[in-house]
Every structure is written in structure tokens, then in C-alpha cells.
């Protein structure tokens, strides 16, 4: 039995779908039974619970040969950092209690740092807690910046006519499609071909600059002259709050972006066959961004 936390999320969903397609027995964890129904229809076992609940996680992990651990990116919460710690405490205690043999976690590049990286600090702490469990085989998948984060720019793009962002327009960045992380997790959970404690960076197919991203998006949505604007942090933080993010969470995101610009959140490995993933920015924009852009245009 392979257990997937965050089964309806950006990486958990493709991981679950890949495992079910391979005929694996899968238990999916989520808070909403209705959202888990499509997996149940394909043969998965649903376990409705909150990942903060230690007793529930202990029960959910019973009988598992491998588990995929994901801390929800619940930045709508005022207590997001505390929330991360409660979840990683529950994960570590439950994994140790039932002696799960194999774990893959969703982590991030930059998770080697114990501070000054915003929400990535919570992933660092999760790694450290799990690494202390004797006899556990654990692989931390440290993903690059999600291409899906660009969907936050849909509103500003439509209202202001340019692509705003926190990063320099000329600095190349590793970006990855979340589905590629899910596929990687599924492969490792099925193969269980790792031992001890290890990390694996996942960096996408190539680095791209934000100016390149703007050009790719612009060509895809019929705005070939779309330009990118590097927005000062003093403007970005209130913009996040205006979008509905609590001030504490907005401050965490700003800290993460500053860490990226300062070189703290960056790949430690050169891109190679192990850490490169297949989905290009061009493909992702066509498959995901354009559909969301057009859907908003229709709704408007």
C-alpha cells in the first residue's frame, strides 16, 4: 500500500494518477471526501482526515510500504509557520510509530538553510525531523520554483497588461511543472530504490529568465509585446495582502523571494539527467496558463 498525503494537490494528484495507472494499491488522504471520489472510482482507498491530526495520520500510515508527505501550502492561514510545524510533528511521530519503511517528501531547493527563506524553513524543519528516525529510508524531493506560481499573475496581467514579479528579469531561474514532481514521486514510491536519508533536486528542463517567461506567455495569449516588470518588495507585500493573503503569510513569501534574489534559494547541483524534468515552460503555458487565462477572460 502506498499512501499519498495532499492527494488532490499540484503534485499529489499526478503522483496518485500515475500509481493507479500502474496498478498500485493507493490510499489517498484529504479533508474533503468528495474531492477524493475520482480516485476511489479508479480503485484508491480514501482516508478523510486533517494532516495535523496525529492519531489520524498514525492510522492512515498503518500497513504502508511507502508514503508521500506533503505540507499543504496554506498561505491563507495567519499561523502558517506554526501550522507547518504541527504537520511535520504529526508526520514524524506517525511515521516512527508505525515504522513506515520508505518516505518521499515534497521539499524545495533552499531547504538546506534553517532560516531566512520564508515558508521553506518549514520544509527544512520537516527534513530534519524525519532524518532523525532510525531505520527510515527517506528521499527529499527538492523542487525548483513551481511554474504554477505564475498563475498568481493572471489578475495583474489582465488588469495592468504586463507580467509583474519579484525576480530580476535577466537572471536565469530553474522552474518546474508540478506534475513532473508528482511523476518523480510516483516512480520513487513504486521503485523504493533509495536508502538512508537523501535529497534530490528537481530543476525543470532549463533555466529561464522572467523576460523569457513574459515572451512565452505573450506569444501564447496573443500579446507578443508583453513585457515583464520587476516590482519592488515595498509594493509587492501590500499587493499580496490586497489579494487576500494574511500579513504574516505575505511577509513569509516576501522573505522567500528576497532569499531567491540573494542566492539562498538556488540549486546546489548542475542540471543533469537525474534532476532535469521534461515539461518545458512553453508546454506548460500552452497546457495550463492559456486555459486559465481564457477562462478568466470568459468569466469577465
Over residues 188-225, the pLDDT tens digits come to 999 999 999 999 999 999 999 999 999 999 999 999 99
- Indicate the pLDDT class of residue 50, thresholds 50, 70 and 90: very high
Domains of the chain: 2-145+176-202 (3.40.50.720)
Asked if the model's pLDDT at residue 297 lies above 70, the reply is: no
- Segment 90-135, tens digit of pLDDT: 999 999 999 999 999 999 999 999 999 999 999 999 999 999 999 9
> 37 phi and psi, to 5 degrees?
-55, -40
| Rounded Cα gap, residues 221 and 133, in angstroms | 49
- State the cell numbers at 100: 513506515
Better pLDDT: 232 or 70? 70
| Rounded Cα gap, residues 291 and 38, in angstroms | 22
| Rounded Cα gap, residues 254 and 92, in angstroms | 28
Asked if the model's pLDDT at residue 68 lies above 50, the reply is: yes
Instruction: For the chain, give the mean pLDDT.
Output: 94
- Segment 127-170, tens digit of pLDDT: 999 999 999 999 999 999 999 999 988 988 888 889 999 999 99
- Indicate the pLDDT class of residue 263, thresholds 50, 70 and 90: confident
Comparing CA positions, the residue from 132, 46, 144, 145 lying closest to residue 95 is 132
Interacting residues of 234 by C-beta distance below 8 A, sequence separation 6+: none
List Cα–Cα distances, 145 to 39, 103, 133, 209, in angstroms: 27, 22, 28, 12
| Rounded Cα gap, residues 247 and 236, in angstroms | 12
DSSP secondary structure, 220-286, as one string: HTT-TT--EEE--HHHHHHHHHHTT--HHHHHHHHHHHHHHHHTSSS-SS---TTT--S--HHHHII
Q: Using an 8 Å Cβ cutoff, are 94 and 57 in contact?
A: yes
> 26 phi and psi, to 5 degrees?
-130, 135
| Rounded Cα gap, residues 225 and 162, in angstroms | 9
Question: How many other C-beta atoms lie within 10 A of the C-beta of residue 289?
Answer: 23
Amino acid at each position: 500500500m502506498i499512501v499519498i498525503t495532499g492527494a488532490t494537490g499540484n503534485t499529489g494528484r499526478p503522483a496518485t494518477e500515475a500509481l493507479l495507472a500502474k496498478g498500485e494499491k493507493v490510499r489517498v488522504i484529504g479533508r474533503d471526501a468528495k474531492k477524493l471520489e475520482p480516485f476511489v472510482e479508479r480503485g484508491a482507498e480514501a482516508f478523510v482526515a486533517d494532516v495535523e491530526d496525529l492519531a489520524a495520520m498514525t492510522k492512515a500510515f498503518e500497513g504502508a510500504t511507502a508514503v508521500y508527505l506533503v505540507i499543504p501550502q496554506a498561505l491563507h492561514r495567519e499561523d502558517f509557520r506554526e501550522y507547518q510545524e504541527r504537520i511535520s510533528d504529526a508526520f514524524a511521530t506517525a511515521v516512527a510509530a508505525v515504522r513506515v519503511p520508505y518516505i518521499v517528501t515534497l521539499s524545495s531547493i533552499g531547504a538546506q538553510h534553517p532560516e531566512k527563506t520564508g515558508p521553506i524553513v518549514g520544509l527544512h524543519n520537516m527534513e530534519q525531523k524525519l532524518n532523525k528516525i532510525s531505520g527510515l529510508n527517506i528521499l527529499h524531493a527538492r523542487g525548483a520554483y513551481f511554474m504554477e506560481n505564475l498563475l498568481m499573475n493572471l489578475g495583474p496581467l489582465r488588469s495592468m497588461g504586463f507580467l509583474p514579479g519579484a525576480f530580476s528579469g535577466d537572471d536565469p531561474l530553474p522552474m518546474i511543472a508540478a506534475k513532473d514532481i508528482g511523476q518523480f514521486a510516483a516512480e520513487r514510491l513504486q521503485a523504493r530504490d533509495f536508502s538512508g536519508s537523501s535529497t534530490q533536486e528537481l530543476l525543470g528542463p532549463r533555466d529561464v529568465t522572467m523576460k523569457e517567461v513574459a515572451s512565452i506567455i505573450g506569444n501564447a495569449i496573443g500579446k507578443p509585446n508583453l513585457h515583464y516588470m520587476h516590482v519592488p518588495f515595498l509594493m509587492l507585500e501590500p499587493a499580496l495582502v490586497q489579494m487576500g493573503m494574511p500579513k504574516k503569510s505575505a511577509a513569509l513569501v516576501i522573505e522567500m523571494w528576497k532569499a531567491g534574489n540573494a542566492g539562498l534559494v538556488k540549486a546546489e547541483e548542475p542540471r543533469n539527467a537525474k534532476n532535469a524534468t521534461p515539461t518545458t515552460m512553453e508546454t506548460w503555458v500552452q497546457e495550463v496558463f492559456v486555459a486559465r487565462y481564457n477562462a478568466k477572460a470568459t468569466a469577465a
